[in-house]
Amino acid sequence: MNLRNSSDVARPNPTIDRDIVRIGGPGVFDQSLSDRDALIAGMAEAMSEDVDEVCANNPGKTHVILCGGKDSLNILLADWKAPVVAYSAEPNFPLVLQFVADNGIDIEVRRLDDPDPGEGLIRKIAAAACLVDLSNWKWTAHLKQVSADLDHQAVFWKGQVADAFFTNYWRSYTSSRSEP
């Protein structure tokens, strides 16, 4: 695998696990949409279509939403036609509870923990593929347990970079490769 030809930290292929299926790809910033209301409506429509499609393609599965940033909170607002449970870790857990309460969302929010940091270290290293700070992967063992508790009949959802669209600190989401 040649890392020099990619500036994407989470390259689309290969994935660390053959059972992982990526849907879609990175967004293209063509600057064709400049109206705020049109952007919000378009994002809401796209997220709703994604939720409907994934639910239709995964009948009988529980949808587990990993919440923290603006995009995963917005996913909670979808018109779910399948069982849903949300998980969030500190420091965002109380914020997710408040968001659910403020918006009258009928989705249970559970705390995501790092139950045994030692036991899952090897899995964390493998899941991060040596490309991500392991402090961001500390819930691997708990997520494995969540999947087992659901008889491995789960679809995991997580937001991806929507803070770049939905926050006032979006300019901080830039990166440049550094040649050693």
166: CB partners within 8 A, 6+ apart: 70, 71, 74
**Adjacency order of strands within the sheet including 62-67:** 108-111, 84-88, 62-67, 154-158
Q: What is the pLDDT of residues 122-132, one digit of tens each?
A: 766 666 666 66
Q: What Cα–Cα distance (Å) separates residue 132 from each residue in 3, 14, 23, 137?
A: 14, 16, 21, 8
Higher pLDDT, 46 or 30: 46
Chain center to CA of 177:
24
Kindly state the greatest CA–CA separation across the chain: 50
Q: What is the pLDDT of residues 106-121, one digit of tens each?
A: 999 999 987 665 656 6
Instruction: Tell me if 44 sits within 8 A of 70, measured CB to CB.
Output: no
**Residues in the chain, total:** 180
Instruction: Tell me if 161 sits within 8 A of 68, measured CB to CB.
Output: no
Instruction: Tell me if 101 sits within 8 A of 91, measured CB to CB.
Output: no
Pick among 3.40.50.620, 3.40.640.10, 3.90.420.10, 1.10.3720.10: CATH of 33-164 = 3.40.50.620
Instruction: Measure the CA–CA gap between 179 and 177, rounded to whole angstroms.
Output: 6
Higher pLDDT, 154 or 164: 154
Q: What is the pLDDT of residues 57-93, one digit of tens each?
A: 999 999 999 998 766 888 899 999 999 999 998 888 9
Residue 124, classified by CB atoms within 10 Å of its CB into exposed (0-12), middle (13-18) or buried (19+), is buried
Tokens of 80: 């779910």
Q: Provide the residue ranges of all domains of the chain, joining segments of one domain with +.
A: 33-164
Q: pTM for the whole thing?
A: 0.70
pLDDT over 50 (residue 180): yes
Instruction: Measure the CA–CA gap between 97 and 111, rounded to whole angstroms.
Output: 10
Share of the chain above pLDDT 70, in %: 57
Instruction: Measure the CA–CA gap between 64 and 86, rounded to whole angstroms.
Output: 6
